Structure 1
Amino acid sequence: MDDDPKQKLSLKREVGLMGAVSLIAGTMIGAGIFMTPQTVLSSIGSSGGSLMVWAACGLLTTLASFCYAELGTVIRESGGEYIYILRTSGPVVAFMLIFSSVLFVRPAGIAGMALGFAQYAVAPFYNDCPPPVLVVKCTAAAAIVVLAAVNCLNVRLSMSVQVFFTFTKLVALALIVGGGIVMLARGQTENFDNAFENTNLGINPIGIAFYQGLWSYDGWNNLNYVTEELKRPEVNLPRAVVIAISMVTGLYLLVNISYLTVMTPRELMSSSAVAVTWGNKVLGSWGWIMSLAAALSAFGSLNGTFFSGGRVCFVAAREGHMPDILAMAHVRRLTPSPALIFTTIISLVVLIPGDFQSIVNYFSFTAWFFYGITLSGLVYLKIKKPELPRPYKVPIVLPILVILAAVFLVLAPIIDKPEIEYLYVTLFILSGALVYVPLIHYKLCPGLLTKLTVFLQLILEVAPADKNL
């Protein structure tokens, strides 16, 4: 490394196509597919309707990811929605996103996945009763801390962890799919008779069913958070998206068909751990394997979220929307360790009162609010700046369709049955604009932040990282 103290560090391009596919698929396939199928089914009311929701969720995320692939090749910076909104909608809206993301969306997602991991990890030790809440939350906290350490130590190590757990969870899902195929081959198809009977067609149940299904697909956009660390992003970004999301959508449909083949809709809706119930019915005394598989799946997804989530703080700090210390990287390991540590602390705080179902609904509401704004930026770039180089392009109709879907998803839960909690979430999002004025625009208390930055820089052995690679 150059001895010049003014020389800035750069994050390395360490992520290839295999790592990119593993990051997307490994993050998407988490605790969701083991925890939300029963909620999707109970919301939509029929087995046929639930399969339609899963397929529609896959189609929606595929269309959105194609749009993101173009954004990622036009704006070749890490940070995902934040950097795209900053470049198209301006700093105030971008700060509203980062404010919501850093203090709620990302930590809540990490806490939710950690709770999913912990629930399945401790289940074999509590066969006759639900595990104590304290044990579950301590296990979740331990998982968060371990993965924070892994991601702070080495990018290659964290990607190796991602590839390994992606492989294990694919094996687990293949086992579920295989078991379902065997049952279907034996003629066990009675659960699909009158598949669309009792389907709920109201706006609210459809919206909630999509929220639960889309939670399982969350992570489709994670590669856009680490564009600067991706080798040949103009080639590998769209390729990884097509490979990963097509694979995950197919797997999710087959897994849900397997669930519905083995269990009646009533059994599925009443199950608190659908994979364990499936395992007990198909594998008998070996049913505990599914608990282990679900735990490993959630752990891998948690690692992928950590890998990308820390980069959001990192990029926001480079743009002056977060403290400077969060835009620094370790002088030897070249990892954004301050941003990762900050994300860890907030996630542990959110974990204390964390509730899985509330996290899913409020997370999805907030996420699709900003997805709609992000893709509005893509439409703007297509119309106003067609001269920008675009190694990968999509027809303008695609982002328009996804924007319409995002509007529906934001409004659906509050049209039929408005809940005060969604108003609180909306006010929290909008409050970011009020925080922006004193802290970012007028930069109050700069002296205190400067002293704190210098102190932490010495303790953590970090230095400013270069924006341009």
Structure 2
Amino acid sequence: MADSVDFRKRNTNTNVELEFDIEPRRDVLKLKRNVGLVSGVSFIIGSIIGSGIFISPTGVLSETGSVGLSLVVWAASGAISLLGALSYAELGTMIPRSGGEYAYLYDGMFPFIAYMYSWTRTIVLQPSGVAIICLTFASYMVTFFEYCGSPAPPEKIIACLAIVTLCIINSYDTSWAAYVQVFFTIAKLVAIAIIIIGGFVKLGQDGTTHLRDGFKGSTNSPSKIALSFYDAMWAYDGWNTLNFLTEEIKNPNRNLPWSNYIGVPLVTIVYILTNISYIVVLSPQGLLDSSAVAVDWGKEMLGSAYVIMPIAVMFSTFGAANGLLYSSGRMVYAAAREGHLPEVLSYVHATLYTPLPSIALTGIIAILMTIPADIGSLVDFFSFAAWLFYGLTVACVVILRIRQPNAERPIKVFILFPIVFTLISIYLVIAPIIDDPRLEFLWAAIFIVGGFLFYFPFVVFKIDRGCFDYVTTFLQLVCQIAPSPYIPDI
């Protein structure tokens, strides 16, 4: 390891040499390991429990047609998420680099597949996820303003301010982001605990009436069941969050799998109990008629104190957006470090040790994503593309078992886990297209294929001829950022 860090970088085209005036260090410029077991579990729970549990229950019940089958779908979705998380844990400890799916696709398949993933996720998937969650945060904050009798600012302004705030937190210190995640995870679990306890209270008051019909009215349509899984799995999205932070996890061989073992089953239990509470308090028909299920539940059980429910949703969505922004910035950072995105996006702040450029890019695109009014289209686009790459990534477990049978695997899952998950992913991608082909799916396919236009000229043939050097030089001077090559721990 070098005795000091040289932060000088010469631009050969502009003949400019940059030098940051900082003290020499005996360590290299790299991401710090600030994420332990508690914060790792918090990132998983905080990223999964966001807007989904306050939006998806109506869709799941509507598609399944019965209370019993809807609860089965919620439990099965948790099991699917756990299969994916365990498969990712094997990949994450075998390939201990930040970037999540990008790093695994790069080693398990081809660099081109990894590039297509980074292209799709960088420009649309992660920013749109942040935008959707922050818009949900804004809509519930407006409800809070109305309860207080104060004029509410426009929802999109609130959403944009939330995105900017999260970018500042994540850019300043990774420890801050971890503390924020722990706090809002605890806050949202307390709020959801109120819903669950309220459900038990209602059950004690002969509230089992709506549960007695069980599977009466259950659908027999495979396509409708698939669509119900779409709704439920949207609520579980985020189960893979921790794999984006592998280089920042303390003792990843232990903390990565155990965070998944604890986090995903805990969320599954919470989701099932929360749905039972919704059903026994509102009735199945009341749940189907509700546009804001948590608020309607609060009005029914808490009376005038229902204001705590919009606050709970605000906590939940803010924590989920924080976890998503944290992980998305690392994916951009990892892809740029491999040369699949502009090099400057892999730079790290010289004193804060955070991937400032990649976080800023994600935040800017997320703000732009708040402009479209049809959030439902963004959700459809997100789900279609996300499950395509989830399936490809987990398939890398099987591929690497064949290609590298003797590679070190601190975690080795039962081989049927990745196989079953991959088959389910294929089903979730194909079933909605067959049942209800939409324009969003066509645009998603066109956008993914559009990555070809940039891959060959800029990644394969590198014909940019230094056209980004001036931009890189400017950003280094303004943002005080420097290159951060991957250096494994010794």
The interval holding the TM-score normalised by the smaller chain is over 0.9
Could you list the per-position Cα deviations for residues 183-208 of structure 1 after superposition, in whole angstroms to 9, with x for gaps in the alignment? 11111111113222222232332222
- Code of the residue aligned with 2:75 in structure 1: it is A
Deviation at 1:3, TM superposition (A): 4.9
Using the size of structure 1 for normalisation, the TM-score is 0.96
Match of 2:88 among 68, 71, 75: 68
- Code of the residue aligned with 1:346 in structure 2: it is I
2:290 touches 2:296 (CA, 8 Å); kept in 1?
yes
Deviation at 1:285, TM superposition (A): 0.6
Larger radius of gyration: 2
Match of 1:317 among 336, 343, 351: 336
Percent identical: 43
Match of 1:45 among 62, 65, 79: 65
Match of 1:222 among 196, 219, 241: 241
Deviation above 4 Å: which 4+ runs of structure 1?
A: none
Structure-2 separation of matches of 1:444 and 1:217? 41
1:212 touches 1:361 (CA, 8 Å); kept in 2?
no
Correspondence for 2:316: 297
2:89 touches 2:257 (CA, 8 Å); kept in 1?
yes
- Code of the residue aligned with 2:304 in structure 1: it is S
User: How many residues align structurally?
Assistant: 467
Structure-1 separation of matches of 2:337 and 2:5? 22
Correspondence for 1:96: 116
2:188 touches 2:315 (CA, 8 Å); kept in 1?
yes
Correspondence for 2:140: 120
CA change 1:113–1:66 in 2 (3 A) is same
1:8 touches 1:463 (CA, 8 Å); kept in 2?
no
Does residue 170 of structure 2 align to residue 151 of structure 1? Answer: yes
Unaligned runs of 5+ in 2: 9-26
Using the size of structure 2 for normalisation, the TM-score is 0.92
Structure-2 separation of matches of 1:393 and 1:351? 41
Which aligned pairs between 1:203-214 and structure 2 lie closer than 5 A?
203-214=222-233
2:147 touches 2:307 (CA, 8 Å); kept in 1?
no
Correspondence for 2:34: 14
Match of 1:417 among 411, 415, 436: 436
Match of 2:6 among 4, 7, 10: 4
1:9 touches 1:331 (CA, 8 Å); kept in 2?
yes
Q: Could you say which structure has the greater relative contact order, defined with CA pairs below 8 angstroms and 6 or more residues apart?
A: 1
Correspondence for 2:216: 197
2:101 touches 2:393 (CA, 8 Å); kept in 1?
yes
Correspondence for 1:182: 201
* Range with bigger deviation, 200-209 or 387-396: 200-209
- Code of the residue aligned with 1:156 in structure 2: it is S
Structure-1 separation of matches of 2:179 and 2:246? 18
Structure-1 separation of matches of 2:435 and 2:186? 42
- Code of the residue aligned with 2:67 in structure 1: it is S
Which aligned pairs between 1:352-391 and structure 2 lie closer than 5 A?
352-391=371-410
Which aligned pairs between 1:210-359 and structure 2 lie closer than 5 A?
210-359=229-378
Structure-2 separation of matches of 1:324 and 1:8? 18
Correspondence for 1:450: 469
1:8 touches 1:466 (CA, 8 Å); kept in 2?
no
- Code of the residue aligned with 2:246 in structure 1: it is T
2:7 touches 2:482 (CA, 8 Å); kept in 1?
no
Structure-1 separation of matches of 2:229 and 2:123? 24
Deviation at 1:395, TM superposition (A): 1.4
Deviation at 1:127, TM superposition (A): 5.3
Which aligned pairs between 1:432-451 and structure 2 lie closer than 5 A?
432-451=451-470
SS at structure 2 position matched to 1:241:
helix
1:123 touches 1:291 (CA, 8 Å); kept in 2?
yes
Could you list the per-position Cα deviations for residues 26-60 of structure 1 after superposition, in whole angstroms to 9, with x for gaps in the alignment? 11111111121111111222211211111111000
- Code of the residue aligned with 1:5 in structure 2: it is F
- Code of the residue aligned with 1:257 in structure 2: it is I
SS at structure 2 position matched to 1:448:
coil
SS at structure 2 position matched to 1:287:
helix
Could you list the per-position Cα deviations for residues 213-258 of structure 1 after superposition, in whole angstroms to 9, with x for gaps in the alignment? 1111111101000100001111111000000011110000000000
User: RMSD across aligned C-alpha pairs, in angstroms?
Assistant: 1.7
